[in-house]
Amino acid sequence: MEKELALQMRGITKRFGPVVANHNVDLDVYRGEILAILGENGCGKTTLMNMISGIYYPDEGQIIIGGKEAVIRSPKDAFAHGIGMIHQHFKLVDLFTAAENIVLGLNEKERYSLKSVNSKVAQITERYGFRLDPAKKIYDMSVSEKQTVEIIKVLYREADILILDEPTAVLTPQEITRLFEVLRRMRDDGKSIIIITHKLNEVLEVSDRVTILRRGEHIATVNTADTCEAELTEMMVGKKVSLNIDRTMPVNPVPRLEVKGLNLYNREGIHVLKDITFTANSGEILGIAGIAGSGQRELLEAIYGLQPAESGTILFNDPKKGQPVSLDRTSLLQLKKLAADGALQDADMNPVSFKNMDSKTIRKQVENGNVLYREDEVVNLREKTPLQIRQMGINLSFVPEDRLGMGLIGNMNITDNMMLRSYRSGRAGFLNRRNPKTQAEQIIKELEVATTGTTIPVRRLSGGNVQKVLVGREIACAPKVLMAAYPVRGLDINSSYTIYNLLNRQKEDGVAVIFVGEDLDVLLELCDRIMVINSGAVTGIVDARSATKEEIGLLMTKTEERKEAAQ
Amino acid sequence: MTEKKRGGEGREPLIHLSKRAAIPFWHAWLIRIAAVALGMVACGLVAYLLSDKLQNGKKTLSDFYETFITGSFGSERKLWKFLKDVAVLLCISLALVPAFKMRFWNIGGEGQTLVSVLGAVAVAFYLQDQENIPEWLLLLLMCLGALVSGAIWALIPALFRAKWGTNETLFTLMMNYVATYLVSLMLIVWIPNGQTSLGTLKRGALRSVTEQVINKNDFKDFIVDYIPIILIAIILSALLFIYLRYTKHGYEISVVGESINTARYIGINEKKVIIRTMLLSGMLCGIAGFLIAAGLDQTVNVDSAQGYGFTGIMVAWLGKFNPLIMLLTAGIIQLLDHGAAQISKDFNVRGAFPEVIVGIILFFIIGSEFFINYQVHFRKFRKKTGKEAVQ
């Protein structure tokens, strides 16, 4: 089958300082095909596409469009050549309608007429099967609708080559299916579609050919029909990897964190968490699924003590029964009070009383391990700050979504970042860097962090290594509850699986793990139960071993559908 | 990874900029030294245009550059005066550093210092006739007065920022003017009828203590005055270096400065840190104020802080908030200042010439940071410069 070439790249090289983002890349794009550009994060996919769409200018090499060498210096030049790119982060004006956004920046000779715009938009939507109301304002739109506006914006400018950068990252399974239908229709109409992705199943589902990039170099271009997931992964990573998550059954799970009727309003007064109720068990991974911005972050921050909740309870069951007390965590005064309340016992289950004992004797008894807790402790964490929670001896670990903005400090080195958790220890006003340094060295060794040492600023590490440092630190303080928000975002396959395995190991050690994820396949493979939330409310909690992607997808959009039906 | 594009008719953009990755230490300093050299050349040009002595050959350009050095080191007196000025400037710059590290842009060092001078002088003014108070106690009380006044002046904007999130830059700036008017007001109250200035205090001179420690006959008069100031400045910069780098407080300041979100995440009460740090800043200004009041001026007027509260901002920034490097940057600034003042005298150029000279040099030094962070590629020489970047 002879196909007409739409675009060729020859020997493209692009450097950023000493970093070579693309090296000598060749690429052919034909008319009427969907080409997937596959590669791990940081392999140069987006940089390569940015050179076609005029954001960057290549250092070396040629771009040939329709048989002639083209110079693309700006997005405007790209449009002139019929190339349009839909970026990962939408560039729309919130206060404008869809139609206004579509024509924005066009320099047409005739007078601006909404009628002609609308009719042209209607033509496009009809032709490719979009669903869009041109008069709707952007701020009223869902992520999927905004994406539709971006695509139509490009089509309106009569682009023949469409580049989509990770278009499925923010969509539900149903929306992805719909998007793929549209893409196929555009292909059949003779357009060239380039889709950047790192998700293998999507590549196999939608593309005609796949180009694999690795470390900025072109590895291979193959017909999708002739390949399989394992082969693509091998080309992408450079070696054979087994992509299995070893999921064990939870061993005697007990409720560790019970959240009941939690309501939270954010600073703008918006009701972001609505009556959330769930239980996280020890020795179990509880997944949280939902469209981005449905309240996942707020939920974790509320539990951790960063956002004050309006109402509800967050009960933490401290499994202290039969555990020896320790003076590191509790003060002598607190211990005396506990003893007076009858909360302590000795090894023979007799109540311990510190009456008429001097501090020295009490200390000795405690150090000998003769003083045990009688019962588990139940604490309400609501209205407690992170520091208060920690001072109560409760180890909540939290891997926040914004690694360098909240979990770590980019300009500080690994040792100083380790110290964030532990710097308060020690009596004097001076810092002790020795223990954090040992800890840093240990994490570097155990988690195989690629770094030249403990003294380089963490922002210089790659995404995967930054995450290893953060997760390593959070695990190192032996948490009872480990919360992780999008812990593999931006990580390559190997690092992702390292993180999954770390979470699994924590689960096997009896930690209650709460995992907020975006990739439903991973959630289904890794978690024991999955809680789905939508606009701040729980729409369902399902068993991850039996649930399907479609089921979760429906739950993710549940209330919206209801609203639509009501109208 | 940013890249800007300029117009140009050819295929490639004429000039494009790219951000450098790490740059070797010596390379960065080479760029800085080159910048200073270029700045000197520019200064020479400006001086030639303005000075008739240079134009008619009475002085040569090499005299011009020599004067830069002799302005600070020309005589023993000049040298000690230079060291003293560096010390006072350094004290005030150090006071700004803890707040700056916290990204709390305190530009009120001027007002905080001025109020401290006022505080110290007020104590001495009201107690100088109490003969039963020994000199050392009077000095101690003056110091206390300076510390408290400086601390209050810094605390007010800190409280407003912590409680209501007001902008600290505007607030501290305004506090400078309030301080100036407060001094004017007190002068009206204190100055006896028929006189124009307060005059020097009868008691409360730092030298009375210094003279008990060193034998004043071994030293010239002014050296006795300057030695404690210079020593205190050096000690302060060492202490502050240790405080910022090796204490828990210093660590908290860095965390709050780098990221408020991280600070909250690990349970630092950022309001407490802001207030505590500004109190420290104010008290350091207090020390500077005390040194000016008791060690040098023995009086107060609206110019007591000499604009060092603002010059200090530059010292702190150029020194990258490192108290030890700031020893050097404070020295450079004073060297320029003294040199330019000397030139203006010797070369018969008056007016704002010293400021122009200092401005030109600083322009080049600050501008050089751009070339340390970015690399400029030209169309034709691109391959060449590209290779250098890789090396």
Of A88-92, A221-225, A250-254, the least confident: A88-92
Averaged pLDDT for residues A277-293: 92
Q: In chain A, which residues have their Cβ closer than 8 Å to the Cβ of B249?
A: 429
Residue A132 to residue A121: CA distance in whole angstroms: 9
A398 vs B265: CB contact, 8 Å cut-off? Answer: yes
- For residue A145, is pLDDT > 60? yes
Task: Output phi, psi for A285, to 5 deg.
Answer: -105, 120
Share of chain B above pLDDT 90, in %: 54
Give the distance from CA A424 to its chain's centroid: 30
Among the four given CATH numbers 1.10.3470, 1.20.58, 1.25.40, 1.10.10, the one describing domain B76-329: 1.10.3470
Give every CB contact of residue A44 below 8 A, 6+ residues apart in sequence: A14, A21, A22, A25, A213, A215, A216
Q: How confident is the model at residue B389 (pLDDT cuts 50, 70, 90)?
A: very low
Strand-strand pairing, A377-380 and A311-318: antiparallel
B255 vs A420: CB contact, 8 Å cut-off? Answer: yes
Most confident of A30-44, A189-203, A400-414, B84-98: B84-98
Residue B361 to residue B197: CA distance in whole angstroms: 36
- For residue B387, is pLDDT > 80? no
Residue A9 to residue A49: CA distance in whole angstroms: 11
Averaged pLDDT for residues B244-264: 94
Q: In chain A, which residues have their Cβ closer than 8 Å to the Cβ of B12?
A: 57
3-state secondary structure at position A81: coil
Domain range list for chain B = 1-59+347-391, 76-329
- For residue A17, is pLDDT > 80? no
Q: How confident is the model at residue B101 (pLDDT cuts 50, 70, 90)?
A: very high
Give residue-wise pLDDT tens across range A249-261: 998 888 999 999 9
Longest dimension (CA), chain B: 87
Averaged pLDDT for residues A427-443: 88
- For residue A319, is pLDDT > 80? no
- For residue B22, is pLDDT > 90? no
Q: How confident is the model at residue A341 (pLDDT cuts 50, 70, 90)?
A: confident
Share of chain B above pLDDT 70, in %: 92
Picking from B1, B11, B247, the nearest residue to A16 by CB comes out as B1
Q: In chain A, which residues have their Cβ closer than 8 Å to the Cβ of B261?
A: 402, 405-406
Task: Write down the H helix ranges in chain B.
Answer: 25-50, 52-55, 61-73, 76-101, 109-127, 135-164, 168-190, 207-213, 221-246, 248-258, 260-265, 270-290, 308-318, 323-346, 353-373, 382-390
Among the four given CATH numbers 3.40.630.30, 3.30.1490.20, 3.40.50.300, 3.10.20.30, the one describing domain A5-237: 3.40.50.300
Give residue-wise pLDDT tens across range B196-251: 788 888 888 888 888 888 877 878 888 888 999 999 999 999 999 999 999 999 99
- For residue B381, is pLDDT > 50? no
pLDDT at A68: 86
Residue A350 to residue A398: CA distance in whole angstroms: 38
Domain range list for chain A = 5-237
Residue B211 to residue A422: CA distance in whole angstroms: 49
Residue A564 to residue A339: CA distance in whole angstroms: 59
Give residue-wise pLDDT tens across range B51-84: 888 888 788 888 888 888 888 888 899 999 999 9
Strand-strand pairing, A60-65 and A5-16: antiparallel
- For residue B382, is pLDDT > 60? no
Q: Which two tokens stand for residue A447?
A: 């988690």
Give residue-wise pLDDT tens across range A485-543: 999 887 778 888 889 999 999 999 999 999 999 888 899 999 999 999 998 999 999 99
Instruction: Yes or no: say if B79 and B298 are a contact pair by the CB < 8 Å rule.
Output: no
Q: In chain B, which residues have their Cβ closer than 8 Å to the Cβ of A59?
A: 386
Residues of chain A whose C-beta is under 8 A from some C-beta in B? 15-19, 56-57, 59, 71, 73-74, 304, 306, 385-388, 390, 398, 400, 402, 405-412, 416, 419-421, 423-424, 429-431
pLDDT at A109: 65
DSSP state of B197: S
Q: Which two tokens stand for residue A300?
A: 């974790």
Residue B145 to residue B117: CA distance in whole angstroms: 9
Exposed (0-12), middle (13-18) or buried (19+): which is B168, by Cβ within 10 Å? buried
pLDDT at B291: 95
Instruction: Yes or no: say if A57 and A73 are a contact pair by the CB < 8 Å rule.
Output: yes
Most confident of A284-288, A434-438, B47-51, B293-297: A284-288
pLDDT at A2: 59
- For residue B327, is pLDDT > 50? yes
Q: Any CB–CB contact under 8 A between B21 and chain A? A: yes
Give residue-wise pLDDT tens across range A96-133: 989 888 888 777 666 677 788 888 888 898 988 888 88
CA dihedral A530, A535, A537, A539 (to 10 degrees): -50
pLDDT at A75: 86
Residue B268 to residue B248: CA distance in whole angstroms: 11
Residue A62 to residue B108: CA distance in whole angstroms: 56
Q: How confident is the model at residue B391 (pLDDT cuts 50, 70, 90)?
A: very low
Q: To the nearest whole angstrom, how far is the Cα of A61 from the nearest Cα of chain B? A: 12
Share of chain A above pLDDT 70, in %: 96
pLDDT at A313: 93
* ipTM, interface predicted TM-score of the complex: 0.80
A430 vs B248: CB contact, 8 Å cut-off? Answer: yes
Q: To the nearest whole angstrom, how far is the Cα of B391 from the nearest Cα of chain A? A: 8
Averaged pLDDT for residues A420-427: 84
HSE-CB of B311 using CA atoms within 13 angstroms: 23
Picking from B20, B255, B264, the nearest residue to A17 by CB comes out as B20
Residue with tokens 């007990």: A254
Averaged pLDDT for residues A185-199: 90
pLDDT at B97: 96
Residue with tokens 């990252």: A169
Q: Which two tokens stand for residue B208?
A: 């009375």
